[in-house]
Structure 1
Amino acid sequence: MAPPNRQPTHHKNPTRRSLLAGVAAVGALGAAGCTRVATASTTDGGDLLDRLRAAGVVRLGIAGEIPFGYIDRDGQLTGEAPELAKAIFKRLGVDRVQPVPTEFGSLIPGLNSQQFDVVAAGMYVTPERCAQVLFADPDYQMLDSFVVRKGNPKGLHTYRDVVAKKAKFATGTGYAQIEHAVAAGYKESDILIVPDQVAGLNAVEAGRVDVFAGTAVTTRDVVTKSRKAESTKPFAPLVDGKPTVDGGAFAFRLTETRLRDAFNAELHKLKKSGELARVLRPFGFTKAEMTDLTAKELCGG
């Protein structure tokens, strides 16, 4: 799918994964067995926060992607976004979180059709998405990194290296790294698209490709037990000729400004206290992924 239109900014605004819309995407949510939440708020700023407090539970849209939001082997909801949601919503008077798993492309349609209350999937903030949902400020920032064979025999450290050395290149379905490679001059039709970072690692280990591109945190995690592959040093890809950085955040319906603002207030308290870093650390996030980026910056406003 084509990348979103860009607006000039000092930071990067591509998608990390594709935004698939339409009836079929929403239908996938129904097939997952979830039920609808209460109807949309009609009061100024929205009344969802009051309704969540009364119900004692908030429904989180997740996309089953490690480390952002997923169900673990014990059937428990976890990931950087769900764990952060647990901490913040408890502070807001909502004691429980309930996962609603779906495909990443169904998250925004599902949110706006009342299938769940908030997107908790580490979603990148982009101008295209900002027209459809209301973002909190980013809880993390992210650079790119490669999975390559041990010793990095082709010397692949940037997308320009991939192009110059005619390396066989792979990345995940709808990943922003597709756009980054194309911006460097790699032919999109030559990119091998795989389901996720595990499939990317397997492709590198088997020699089907020379490099798999993903986020710094996912590539760092996936190679930990590999004897044949390693991850490269994180780097900022060039977009429109400028080094750029992504930011991931929670998403709310456009009418729910009151809930978003309350969430933001608690998020900033966690940032200031250092608790945010402690919540995210078990999922591979380091000091380098902590950020002061704002949704306004990344939305192009």
Structure 2
Amino acid sequence: MSWTRREFLTRTAALGVFGAGASACSSTVDGSPRPGAAPPPAEQSVAPSGVPSIRLGIVQYQPYTVEQNGEAAGPVPDVARAVLAKLGHSDVGIELFRDEPAVVAGLRAERFDLVGGVAVRAELCRETRYSLPDTVTGTALIVPSDNPKGLRTYAEVVAAKAKVAVMTGLAERQDAMRAGVPAADVVEVPVAHQLVDAVRGGQVDCAAFDDVAARDMARVLGDGAVVTTESFFPPGRSPVIGAYLFSAASAADLLEPFNATLRELHDSGEWLELVEPYGFTAANQPPPGLTTEQACG
């Protein structure tokens, strides 16, 4: 079975592959109450200021969305709340979903004003409205803490004749081979945590994965024995770009001020302050000038 990266991250979060904090953090998941959860807030509740609440749907996966003290946290909800608060929307109702199709269907049905945790894709660009790009993710290598072979990108893997572990069904296998790594030196593993295990056990010299997820796994599972390289973009493949998706109705009034405020958040450095605690770095900030139209291709 071949998964998209987004499907993989959603499923590993649901299964807790990356460790604690993968459980849902709002009172509803996939539209159904969680066992023992507080009753969901009314969708059309009104804040004391009289500003109608904003309904935000999120595709849940770590470390983009995590649970902290029973609240949705992480770059996706935190950045959205920061932007919306600056626009006067202090009452934001968040609903988490395991699967992207479900939350996109909710957006189409006007159940949400916007959704987060959805990568920019051409087919969605044609029928909905994206915000400005909010995140970019590339690739990082998981290496032993002393990185004895000095591996930084696939170029060093090729030069050192090193072995690299990748997860079955994801893009890193093709990326590595496109960069010149021989097929015999690409070792596939079926489960994400085995990338770290393979490096720690010496079966491979490094493992390649989504940069943000790689850092999270190294931190949670590495026990100090592994580190990650700086993010890089493999030749021949565009980075994964994350943005917020708006319903047709909400885009008319909300998209333009949301974009202006999101841009201010990035330009001021406040965006980086919000996302750094979750393992994001300046490398995950979209390059200046990257537009929604360019991201949509």
Answer whether TM exceeds 0.5 for this pair.
Answer: yes
Are residues 61 and 297 of structure 1, via their aligned partners in 2, closer, same or farther at CA, if it must alter by over 3 Å?
same
Distance 1:19 1:213, change over 3 A: closer
Identity of aligned residues (%): 29
Give the alignment of 1:185-204 within 5 angstroms: 191-195=188-192, 198=193, 200-204=195-199
**Residue 242 of structure 2 aligns to a residue in which SS?**
strand
Aligned to 1:63: 60
Moved over 6 A (4+): none
**3-state SS of the aligned residue for 1:17?**
helix
2:17 aligned residue:
none
Residue 75 of structure 1 and its aligned partner are, at CA, apart by 2.4
Query: Residue 63 of structure 1 contacts residue 107 of structure 1 at CA under 8 Å; is this kept in 2?
Result: no
Task: Answer yes or no: is 1:298 the counterpart of 2:295.
Answer: yes
1:129-157 CA-to-partner distances (Å, cap 9, x unmatched) read: 42354211112333321112333345543
In the alignment, the residues of structure 1 paired with residue 154 and residue 140 of structure 2 have an alpha-carbon distance, to the nearest angstrom, of 10
C-alpha offsets along residues 184-209 of structure 1, whole Å, 9 cap, x if unaligned?
3676x9632424xx553234324455
SS in 1 for 2:62: coil
Distance 2:2 2:123 in 1: 12
TM alignment of 1:94-109, pairs within 5 A: 94-104=90-100, 106-109=102-105
User: C-alpha deviations, 1:170-228, integer Å up to 9, x for none?
Assistant: 23x875545533543676x9632424xx5532343244554332233333343346332
SS of the equivalent of 1:131 reads helix
More contact order relative to length (CA 8 Å, sep ≥ 6): 1
1:253 equivalent in alignment to 2:247: yes
Matches of 1:177 and 1:69, distance apart in 2 = 23
Q: Pick closer, same or farther for the CA change 1:129–1:149 going to 2, 3 Å.
A: farther
Q: Distance in 1 between matches of 2:202 and 2:31?
A: 41
Q: Which amino acid aligns with 1:87?
A: A
Q: Partner of 1:38 in structure 2?
A: none
1:19/1:104 contact within 8 Å kept: no
Contact 2:134 2:285 in 1 (8 A): yes
CA RMSD of aligned residues (A): 4.0
Aligned residues: 259
Partner of 2:79: 84
Aligned to 2:228: 231
The 3-state SS of whatever aligns with 2:142 is strand
2:274 counterpart residue number? 279
TM-score scaled by length of structure 1: 0.68
User: Would the alpha carbon gap of residues 203 and 114 (structure 1) be closer, same or farther in structure 2, given more than 3 Å must change?
Assistant: farther
1:271 is displaced (CA, Å) by 2.5
Cα gap change, 1:213 to 1:109, in 2 (>3 Å):
farther
TM score, norm. by length of structure 2? 0.68
What amino acid does structure 2 have at the position aligned with 1:170?
V
Could you tell me which runs of 5 or more consecutive residues in structure 1 were left unpaired when the two chains were aligned.
4-14, 21-30, 36-47
Change (3 A) 1:88 1:97: farther
Partners in 2 of 1:16 and 1:129 — Cα distance? 17
